[in-house]
Amino acid sequence: MAPHGSMTSAQAADPHAGWQGIYADWASDRTVFRNVSWGKAMMWVFLLSDTFIFGCFLLAYMTARMSTTVPWPNATEVFALHIGGENIPLILIAIMTFVLISSSGTMAMAVNYGYRRDRKKTAVLMLVTAAFGATFVGMQAFEWTKLIMEGVRPWENPWGAAQFGSTFFMITGFHGTHVTIGVIFLIIVARKVLRGDFDRGTRGFFTSRKGRYEIVEITGLYWHFVDLVWVFIFAFFYLW
């Protein structure tokens, strides 16, 4: 047994034992984030806070749906389209989901080509992603218009529980706003990539440092988050 107050051989060999180990644990966040850029770290912080907001919205939706005594509208009837003389359930929602999920693939390829310094392919893939996003927003606007014309309001709807309208417009509208902002941001960054602002280090919005294509990845993080949130909205609103 080692004398009182002296270190054992194992403690002497391990610089992170005892109080030094406690200090190292508390300071580990500095080590982890040392090589992470400010922009990427702030985007992760923003996405984390946005996750809490969407989570609260979905919890409110589940609470409203499970607590109401009035029957909840049947999604296969509410979100059906009349095509060729027949009602096809969830066809529009399926197309919207396919479009948005496909945009994640084009965004991932854009990030890949961005780090390869391939300006043309990066810009084209970002613009394709933006086109997918704009298509999604357009179809969502059509869906809103259809439901409003059929009598759905934030305070009532003709198919059952009044809470359906308020929760639907709140959550899908909030998500649609995120997609719209993402589309605008994609177009702005794609234009800068195509002009070569990142290669020349042109002073301006996100282009003050030469060769910093990381903004493409940061944009991709935001876009993938928007797509992931839609998967949960799709499951809760349209499949449940």
- Contacts of range 185-188, beta carbons closer than 8 Å, 24 or more positions apart: 185/219, 185/222, 186/126, 186/127, 186/129, 186/130, 186/133, 186/219, 186/223, 187/126, 187/127, 187/130
> What is the token pair recorded at 196?
């070569």
Q: Which of 152, 160, 158 is nearest to 73 (CA)?
A: 160
Domains of the chain: 37-239 (1.20.120.80)
Give the tokens for residue 138.
């357009």
User: Rounded to whole angstroms, how far apart are CA atoms 114 and 122?
Assistant: 5
Global pTM value? 0.81
Q: Which residues of the chain, if any, have pLDDT below 50?
A: 1-2, 4-7, 10-12, 15-16, 25, 27-29, 32
Specify whether the CB–CB gap between 189 and 163 falls below 8 A. Answer: no
pLDDT, tens only, 172-231: 999 999 999 999 999 999 998 988 877 776 666 665 555 567 889 999 999 999 999 999
